[in-house]
A and B are shown apart, each in its own frame.
Chain A
Amino acid sequence: MDELREHPLMLTLRDAISGDGFLAGITLSGRALMRKEEDGKWWMYGVRPAGLAESGSTIEEAFAHFSGRYRETLFDIAQENSTFDDFRSEVERFFYEVDENPEDERLWESALTALRMGKAAPPEAFSNLPRKSPESNPSQITIERLDASGKRFMPSDNVRDTYSMPEVVAA
Chain B
Amino acid sequence: MLESCAPGSSVRLATHSRVVTYNDKVYRSLPKFDNIELGHVRKMIRHLGIDLECARKYLAL
Contact = CB atoms under 8 A, between A and B. Distances in A.
* B interface, over-half SS: mixed
Contacts of B42: 53
Chain A at the B interface: mostly helix, strand, loop or mixed?
mixed
Given A72-B16, A75-B16, A53 B25 contact: no
Interface residues of B, number: 24
Nearest to B40: A53
B15 A75 contact: yes
Contacts of B49: 99-101
Given A94-B28, A100-B48, A53 B14 contact: no
Contacts, number: 76
A134 interface: no
A3 interface: no
A104 B37 contact: no
A41 B15 CA distance: 26
Given A43-B39, A51-B27, A53-B29, A100 B47 contact: yes
A43 B37 CA distance: 11
B46 A99 contact: yes
Contact of B39 (A41, A70, A100, A102): A41
Given A39-B38, A100-B49, A53 B43 contact: yes
Contacts of B52: 101
Contact of A79 (B15, B25, B46, B47): B15
